[in-house]
Protein backbone atom coordinates (compact mmCIF):
# COMPACT_ATOMS: atom_id res chain seq x y z
CA UNK A 1 0.00 0.00 0.00
CA UNK A 2 1.35 3.47 -0.89
CA UNK A 3 2.12 5.63 2.13
CA UNK A 4 0.42 9.03 2.19
CA UNK A 5 2.84 11.87 2.88
CA UNK A 6 1.77 15.43 3.67
CA UNK A 7 2.84 18.27 1.44
CA UNK A 8 6.02 20.23 2.12
CA UNK A 9 6.21 23.91 1.21
CA UNK A 10 9.74 25.06 0.33
CA UNK A 11 10.17 28.81 0.37
CA UNK A 12 13.06 29.79 -1.88
CA UNK A 13 12.64 26.40 -3.51
CA UNK A 14 14.20 27.55 -6.78
CA UNK A 15 17.43 28.56 -5.03
CA UNK A 16 20.57 26.51 -4.48
CA UNK A 17 19.59 24.87 -1.20
CA UNK A 18 15.83 24.84 -1.85
CA UNK A 19 16.09 23.12 -5.24
CA UNK A 20 18.28 20.35 -3.78
CA UNK A 21 15.79 19.88 -0.92
CA UNK A 22 12.95 19.79 -3.47
CA UNK A 23 14.65 17.06 -5.52
CA UNK A 24 15.41 14.97 -2.40
CA UNK A 25 11.84 15.25 -1.09
CA UNK A 26 10.19 14.54 -4.47
CA UNK A 27 12.48 11.53 -4.99
CA UNK A 28 11.43 10.28 -1.55
CA UNK A 29 7.76 10.57 -2.52
CA UNK A 30 6.77 13.77 -0.72
CA UNK A 31 4.40 16.17 -2.49
CA UNK A 32 6.21 19.52 -2.77
CA UNK A 33 5.14 23.12 -3.30
CA UNK A 34 7.68 25.82 -4.08
CA UNK A 35 7.26 29.50 -3.23
CA UNK A 36 9.85 31.78 -4.79
CA UNK A 37 9.99 35.32 -6.15
CA UNK A 38 12.92 34.40 -8.46
CA UNK A 39 14.88 37.42 -7.22
CA UNK A 40 18.00 35.23 -7.16
CA UNK A 41 16.94 32.28 -9.31
CA UNK A 42 15.10 31.40 -12.46
CA UNK A 43 11.76 29.68 -13.13
CA UNK A 44 13.65 27.20 -15.34
CA UNK A 45 15.02 25.66 -12.11
CA UNK A 46 11.52 24.45 -11.24
CA UNK A 47 11.26 22.81 -14.67
CA UNK A 48 14.66 21.20 -14.09
CA UNK A 49 13.52 19.85 -10.70
CA UNK A 50 10.50 18.34 -12.47
CA UNK A 51 12.70 16.84 -15.19
CA UNK A 52 15.12 15.27 -12.68
CA UNK A 53 12.40 13.80 -10.46
CA UNK A 54 9.64 13.16 -12.98
CA UNK A 55 7.27 15.04 -10.64
CA UNK A 56 6.01 18.59 -11.07
CA UNK A 57 6.07 20.66 -7.86
CA UNK A 58 3.26 23.14 -7.22
CA UNK A 59 4.53 26.69 -7.76
CA UNK A 60 3.64 29.95 -6.01
CA UNK A 61 5.51 32.87 -7.50
CA UNK A 62 5.99 35.89 -5.28
CA UNK A 63 7.48 37.35 -2.14
CA UNK A 64 7.39 35.21 1.01
CA UNK A 65 6.39 38.39 2.89
CA UNK A 66 3.17 38.59 0.86
CA UNK A 67 0.74 37.29 3.48
CA UNK A 68 -2.10 36.58 1.04
CA UNK A 69 0.20 34.51 -1.17
CA UNK A 70 1.63 32.69 1.84
CA UNK A 71 -1.86 31.93 3.14
CA UNK A 72 -2.76 30.56 -0.30
CA UNK A 73 0.39 28.42 -0.43
CA UNK A 74 -0.22 27.07 3.09
CA UNK A 75 -3.89 26.40 2.48
CA UNK A 76 -3.58 23.24 0.42
CA UNK A 77 -2.56 20.41 2.72
CA UNK A 78 0.86 21.72 3.73
CA UNK A 79 2.09 20.14 6.98
CA UNK A 80 5.74 21.21 6.89
CA UNK A 81 7.63 24.29 5.73
CA UNK A 82 11.31 24.33 4.77
CA UNK A 83 12.23 28.00 4.80
CA UNK A 84 15.07 28.70 2.35
CA UNK A 85 13.90 32.07 0.99
CA UNK A 86 16.53 34.50 2.08
CA UNK A 87 19.52 36.48 1.08
CA UNK A 88 22.73 34.54 0.93
CA UNK A 89 25.12 36.97 2.53
CA UNK A 90 24.62 37.96 6.16
CA UNK A 91 25.66 41.55 5.43
CA UNK A 92 23.11 41.77 2.62
CA UNK A 93 20.36 40.53 4.93
CA UNK A 94 21.21 43.20 7.50
CA UNK A 95 21.13 45.95 4.86
CA UNK A 96 17.76 44.85 3.50
CA UNK A 97 16.39 44.21 6.99
CA UNK A 98 17.21 47.74 8.07
CA UNK A 99 15.66 49.31 4.99
CA UNK A 100 12.68 47.00 4.69
CA UNK A 101 9.61 49.00 5.70
CA UNK A 102 7.26 46.05 5.15
CA UNK A 103 9.15 43.90 7.59
CA UNK A 104 9.33 46.64 10.21
CA UNK A 105 5.59 47.31 9.80
CA UNK A 106 4.87 43.60 10.26
CA UNK A 107 7.03 43.56 13.39
CA UNK A 108 5.08 46.53 14.80
CA UNK A 109 1.77 44.88 13.92
CA UNK A 110 2.82 41.68 15.70
CA UNK A 111 4.03 43.50 18.84
N1 LIG B 1 24.33 28.03 0.07
C2 LIG B 1 24.90 27.69 1.20
O3 LIG B 1 25.98 27.05 1.26
C4 LIG B 1 24.27 28.07 2.51
C5 LIG B 1 24.86 27.65 3.71
C6 LIG B 1 24.27 27.98 4.92
C7 LIG B 1 23.12 28.73 4.94
N8 LIG B 1 22.55 29.15 3.77
C9 LIG B 1 21.33 29.94 3.85
O10 LIG B 1 20.27 29.23 3.23
C11 LIG B 1 19.40 30.16 2.59
C12 LIG B 1 19.29 29.81 1.10
O13 LIG B 1 20.60 29.85 0.52
P14 LIG B 1 20.84 29.53 -1.00
O15 LIG B 1 22.29 29.32 -1.16
O16 LIG B 1 19.90 28.47 -1.45
O17 LIG B 1 20.46 30.94 -1.65
P18 LIG B 1 19.80 31.22 -3.06
O19 LIG B 1 19.88 32.68 -3.28
O20 LIG B 1 20.33 30.30 -4.11
O21 LIG B 1 18.26 30.81 -2.79
C22 LIG B 1 17.35 31.65 -2.15
C23 LIG B 1 16.06 31.61 -2.94
O24 LIG B 1 15.12 32.42 -2.25
C25 LIG B 1 14.48 33.27 -3.19
N26 LIG B 1 14.08 34.47 -2.44
C27 LIG B 1 14.86 35.44 -1.89
N28 LIG B 1 14.13 36.35 -1.25
C29 LIG B 1 12.83 35.93 -1.39
C30 LIG B 1 11.58 36.46 -0.93
N31 LIG B 1 11.52 37.59 -0.21
N32 LIG B 1 10.45 35.80 -1.26
C33 LIG B 1 10.50 34.64 -1.98
N34 LIG B 1 11.65 34.10 -2.44
C35 LIG B 1 12.80 34.74 -2.14
C36 LIG B 1 15.51 33.55 -4.29
O37 LIG B 1 14.91 33.88 -5.52
C38 LIG B 1 16.22 32.19 -4.35
O39 LIG B 1 15.57 31.33 -5.27
C40 LIG B 1 20.00 31.57 2.79
O41 LIG B 1 19.37 32.15 3.91
C42 LIG B 1 21.46 31.26 3.09
O43 LIG B 1 22.05 32.25 3.88
C44 LIG B 1 23.10 28.81 2.57
**Domain extents in the chain:** 7-86
Buried b (16+ CB within 10 A) or exposed e, 55-91: bebbbbeeebeeeebbeebbeeebeebbebbbeeeee
Query: What pLDDT is recorded for position 106?
Result: 57
Q: Of the ranges 12-21, 30-39, 99-108, which one carries the lowest mean pLDDT score? A: 99-108
Query: What pLDDT is recorded for position 5?
Result: 78
Fold of 7-86: Rossmann fold (3.40.50)
Helix-strand-coil percent breakdown of the chain, rounded to 5?
45, 20, 35
- pLDDT tens per residue, range 22-54: 999 999 999 999 999 999 999 999 999 999 999
User: Ligand 1 pocket, 38 CB below 6 A?
Assistant: yes
Mean pLDDT score of the chain: 87
- pLDDT tens per residue, range 69-94: 999 999 888 999 999 998 877 666 66
Pick from 11, 12, 42, 59 the residue to mutate for probing ligand 1's pocket: most ligand atoms within 8 Å of its CB. 12
Amino acid sequence: MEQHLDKVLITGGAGYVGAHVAVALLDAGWPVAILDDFSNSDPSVVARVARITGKVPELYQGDVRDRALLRRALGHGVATVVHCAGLKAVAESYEVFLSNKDYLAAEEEAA
